[in-house]
């Protein structure tokens, strides 16, 4: 009987071999996934945001182990979303992340506020759901307080 053992290099690292850069990439990726972005876009954005210089699609593909075509598709999605810029260099395109967490958080806050306002309006006058309406109002009050504090800081 013959056994063949094939060793495949793993992309995942154990905690003791993880560098601070790996941790930063992992955390940015997790944040982006939490905001609703797919794995591929999140990983590529995390790689770009932690890079000191613009990267080519080939370099990004090597760092993520994504095929070139997948890398380009994810990059195009990120460009359409305004999260990545394409810069023309000598004979190739380079990509750089737009790093504006404050604007992203503001956009998410506005989106949540819109959903809560719609839900609150839908719940208006429904006796059986008054407890939920109260929770929606508390959440909206919180968002209004955050907005007032933010506006005072900007003055």
The CATH number of the domain holding residue 67 is: 1.10.10.10
Q: Same domain, yes or no, for 25 and 85?
A: yes
Of 123, 144, 148, 150, whose CA–CA distance to 135 is shortest? 123
The pLDDT, as a whole number, for residue 34 is: 87
The pLDDT, as a whole number, for residue 150 is: 79
Q: How far apart are CA 42 and CA 81, in angstroms?
A: 12
The pLDDT, as a whole number, for residue 10 is: 44
Is residue 5 a part of any domain in this protein?
no
The total number of structural domains that make up the chain: 2
Is residue 4 a part of any domain in this protein?
no
Q: Same domain, yes or no, for 29 and 95?
A: yes
Supply the DSSP symbol for 152.
H
The pLDDT, as a whole number, for residue 8 is: 43
Q: Same domain, yes or no, for 108 and 125?
A: yes
Residues 6+ apart with CB under 8 A from 32: 41, 42, 45, 46
The pLDDT, as a whole number, for residue 5 is: 47
Q: How far apart are CA 51 and CA 47, in angstroms?
A: 6
Q: Same domain, yes or no, for 53 and 70?
A: yes
Domain that holds residue 62: 19-99
Q: Which residues in the chain come in under a pLDDT of 70?
A: 1-17
Q: Same domain, yes or no, for 45 and 94?
A: yes
Q: Same domain, yes or no, for 60 and 106?
A: no
């Amino acid at each position: 009987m013959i056994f063949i053992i094939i060793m495949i290099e793993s992309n995942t690292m154990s905690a003791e071999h993880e560098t601070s850069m790996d941790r930063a990439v992992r955390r940015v990726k997790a944040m982006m996934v939490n905001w609703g972005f797919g794995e591929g876009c999140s990983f590529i954005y995390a790689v770009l945001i932690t890079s000191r210089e613009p990267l080519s699609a080939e370099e990004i593909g090597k760092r993520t182990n994504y095929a070139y075509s997948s890398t380009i598709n994810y990059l195009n999605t990120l460009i359409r979303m305004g999260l990545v810029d394409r810069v023309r260099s000598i004979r190739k395109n380079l990509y750089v992340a737009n790093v504006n967490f404050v604007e992203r958080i503001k956009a998410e806050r506005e989106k949540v506020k819109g959903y809560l306002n719609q839900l609150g309006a839908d719940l208006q006058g429904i006796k059986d759901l008054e407890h939920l309406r109260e929770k929606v109002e508390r959440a909206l009050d919180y968002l209004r307080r955050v907005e007032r504090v933010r506006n005072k800081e900007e003055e």
